[in-house]
């Protein structure tokens, strides 16, 4: 099979330059077939968390425990209720689909909820869930909107977390393949873009090392408030299982479905812009190291999905804590993608921290031996670069969205420049359509285009083919927090 590698999004390091030149461009400047859409995920938009047979995911559990500041996704933006009744009440307006079609979007990125589709994690299907996702997909297709689907967005069923520790156990690979098989069989006739995993590189760090995201695993002194976990070894183990699950799902698709469904598989990664704090040799080397860990570990540089093995620096510094691929696994992981999804929100500066390698007791970050500095106050970082979206702080009122207009204008323009330079970029997904329950910011952040009217207006003008500029001059705000960048 011809390997069709393309980037859904691209890391743009020269955003700052792009922002300040207010050249006009329009949608016609993009190649035909290039798609624009919003991105969402199941738990963040579906609501109906305990209805119609859905079982809790690890995300529900921690939100009920109050770990997410009391917020939950029980109702969220209630996308579930918008679609589940469609068969019974044909005239019911599909509010969000209409909104999307009117805005001129041509693709919709969403994720399927594993605990809704297969509530026990394996075994019986939930027919209501099949109905719901069928409606959601069909409704979009009938409005000319492509469905791009992620299988996993941090939300596996709590039951398998209880049973064998979820991603800590290799058993999950088998269950994940069975779940993927159901999705491909039921929806693959209409869905052409399948992303296996969303941001596994964030999951390993935030969920299993620092313990800031579900299922909150960590050990001190690396992470503080976890009741279980081991920051030293588990992030690597979890990541290994994630990669094996990803590669197995892609293999399944290639063997069983791709020939007739003619779609594409990819994996989605969180890519940071990485810069040295100073130009000292130490910081420059630290940045290269950190790039291998945070980015190269998964994309672009020597990395598993391209080369079938982990980068050398990661292998060297993590030692035996990093599981090794067998020859068979390496073959399966190598080339296990048709496209790479790149989520890009922030840039980070790195400061050398080689001293951390002197300690025998190390976590993923100590192995990286570089300190991450999110410097929002620095002019370079006043625009945390959110590829899929930009968060406007709550205090940004509905009418003061000019910074986001400039941001989107600059970003979309940089994507255009990259395409003109020969990059094979096929789509741009903005996070998000409606405000969702955000991973880090709960409901207090505001990524939604429709949360803030001006950027929706700008995007809509652009999508309808109008030439657009960013000539809404504003004083750059300081209310952006890259750590709240969510996905």
Nearest CB to ligand NAG, comparing residues 278 and 281:
278
**Among 72, 195, 219, 258, which residue sits at the site for ligand NAG (rule: CB under 6 A)?**
219
* Other CB atoms within 10 A of residue 355 CB: 9
DSSP 8-state assignment for residue 207: I
Shortest spacing between CB 230 and ligand NAG, in angstroms: 4
Residue span binding ligand NAG (CB under 6 A) among the ranges 130-138, 222-230, 258-266, 455-463: 222-230
Give the 3-state secondary structure of residue 433: coil
Shortest spacing between CB 240 and ligand NAG, in angstroms: 14
**378 forms part of the interface with ligand NAG (CB under 6 A):** yes
**Among 175, 233, 261, 298, which residue sits at the site for ligand NAG (rule: CB under 6 A)?**
233
Which residue pairs, CB below 8 angstroms and at least 24 apart, start in 52-55?
52/80, 52/84, 52/116, 52/126, 52/128, 52/129, 52/132, 53/116, 53/119, 53/126, 53/128, 53/129, 54/113, 54/115, 54/116, 54/119, 54/126, 54/129, 55/115, 55/119, 55/120, 55/157, 55/158, 55/159
Give the 3-state secondary structure of residue 467: coil
Shortest spacing between CB 278 and ligand NAG, in angstroms: 5
Shortest spacing between CB 476 and ligand NAG, in angstroms: 14
**Among 232, 268, 343, 402, which residue sits at the site for ligand NAG (rule: CB under 6 A)?**
232
**430 forms part of the interface with ligand NAG (CB under 6 A):** no
Under 8 Å between Cβ of 332 and 310: no
**279 forms part of the interface with ligand NAG (CB under 6 A):** yes
Nearest CB to ligand NAG, comparing residues 243 and 418:
418
Residue span binding ligand NAG (CB under 6 A) among the ranges 229-237, 337-345, 390-398, 469-477: 229-237
CA distance 329 to 308: 8
**228 forms part of the interface with ligand NAG (CB under 6 A):** no
CA distance 313 to 316: 5
Structure tokens at 220: 């001190």
Under 8 Å between Cβ of 394 and 445: yes
Nearest CB to ligand NAG, comparing residues 279 and 358:
279
Give the 3-state secondary structure of residue 284: helix
Helix (H) or strand (E) segment spanning residue 416: helix 402-420
Site for ligand NAG in 456-485 (CB under 6 A): none
**230 forms part of the interface with ligand NAG (CB under 6 A):** yes
Under 8 Å between Cβ of 452 and 39: no
Site for ligand NAG in 299-338 (CB under 6 A): none
Give the 3-state secondary structure of residue 281: helix
How many alpha carbons lie under 13 Å from residue 251 in its C-beta half-sphere?
19
**421 forms part of the interface with ligand NAG (CB under 6 A):** yes
Nearest CB to ligand NAG, comparing residues 16 and 101:
16
**274 forms part of the interface with ligand NAG (CB under 6 A):** no
Structure tokens at 331: 């073959």
Shortest spacing between CB 378 and ligand NAG, in angstroms: 4
**87 forms part of the interface with ligand NAG (CB under 6 A):** no
The angle, 0 to 180 degrees and rounded to 10, between the axes of the packed helices 127-142 and 171-187 is: 50
**278 forms part of the interface with ligand NAG (CB under 6 A):** yes
**380 forms part of the interface with ligand NAG (CB under 6 A):** yes
Residues 6-45: x where in contact with ligand NAG by CB under 6 A, - otherwise, as a string: --------x-------------------------------
Shortest spacing between CB 160 and ligand NAG, in angstroms: 22
Under 8 Å between Cβ of 349 and 276: yes
Residues 390-419: x where in contact with ligand NAG by CB under 6 A, - otherwise, as a string: ------------------------x--xx-
Chain residues in the site for ligand NAG (CB under 6 A): 14, 219, 224-225, 230, 232-233, 277-279, 349, 378, 380, 414, 417-418, 421
């Amino acid at each position: 099979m011809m390997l069709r590698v393309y980037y859904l999004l691209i890391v743009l390091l020269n955003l700052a330059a792009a922002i300040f030149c207010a050249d006009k461009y329009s949608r016609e400047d993009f190649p035909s077939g290039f798609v624009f859409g919003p991105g969402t995920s199941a738990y963040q938009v579906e609501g109906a968390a305990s209805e119609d047979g859905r079982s809790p995911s690890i995300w529900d559990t921690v939100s009920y425990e109050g770990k997410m500041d009391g917020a939950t996704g029980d109702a969220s933006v209630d996308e579930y209720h918008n679609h589940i009744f469609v068969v019974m009440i044909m005239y019911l307006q599909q509010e969000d689909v209409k909104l999307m079609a009117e805005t001129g979007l041509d693709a919709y990125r969403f994720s399927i909820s594993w605990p809704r589709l297969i509530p026990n994690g394996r075994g019986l299907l939930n027919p209501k869930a099949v109905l719901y996702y069928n409606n959601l997909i069909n409704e979009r297709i009938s409005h000319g909107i492509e469905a791009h689907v992620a299988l996993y967005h941090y939300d596996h069923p709590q039951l398998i977390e209880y049973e064998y520790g979820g991603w800590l156990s290799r058993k999950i690979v088998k269950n994940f393949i069975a779940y993927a098989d159901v999705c491909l069989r039921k929806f693959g006739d209409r869905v052409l873009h399948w992303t296996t995993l969303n941001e596994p590189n964030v999951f390993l760090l935030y969920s299993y090392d620092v313990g800031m995201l579900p299922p909150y695993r960590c050990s001190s002194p690396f992470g503080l408030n976890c009741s279980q976990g081991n920051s030293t070894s588990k992030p690597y183990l979890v990541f290994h299982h994630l990669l094996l699950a990803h590669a197995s799902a892609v293999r399944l698709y290639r063997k069983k479905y791709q020939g007739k469904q003619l779609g594409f598989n990819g994996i989605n990664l969180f890519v940071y812009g990485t810069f040295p704090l100073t130009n000292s040799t130490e910081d420059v080397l630290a940045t290269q190291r950190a790039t291998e860990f945070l980015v190269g570990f998964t994309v672009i540089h020597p990395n598993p999905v391209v080369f079938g093995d982990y980068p050398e620096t990661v292998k060297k510094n993590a030692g035996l804590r990093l599981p090794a691929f067998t020859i068979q696994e390496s073959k399966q992981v190598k080339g296990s993608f048709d496209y790479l999804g790149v989520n890009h929100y922030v840039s980070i500066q790195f400061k050398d921290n080689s001293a951390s390698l002197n300690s025998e007791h190390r976590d993923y970050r100590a192995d990286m031996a570089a300190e991450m500095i999110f410097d929002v106050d620095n002019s370079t970082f006043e625009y945390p670069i959110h590829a899929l979206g930009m968060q406007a702080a709550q205090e940004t009122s509905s009418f003061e969205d000019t910074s986001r207009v400039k941001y989107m204008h600059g970003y979309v323009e940089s994507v255009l420049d990259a395409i003109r330079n020969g990059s094979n970029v096929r789509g741009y997904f903005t996070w998000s359509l409606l405000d969702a329950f955000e991973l880090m910011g709960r409901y207090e952040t505001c990524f939604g285009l429709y949360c803030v009217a001006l950027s929706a207006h700008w995007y809509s003008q652009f999508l309808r083919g109008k030439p657009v500029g960013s000539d809404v001059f504003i004083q750059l705000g300081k209310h952006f927090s890259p750590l709240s960048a969510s996905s």
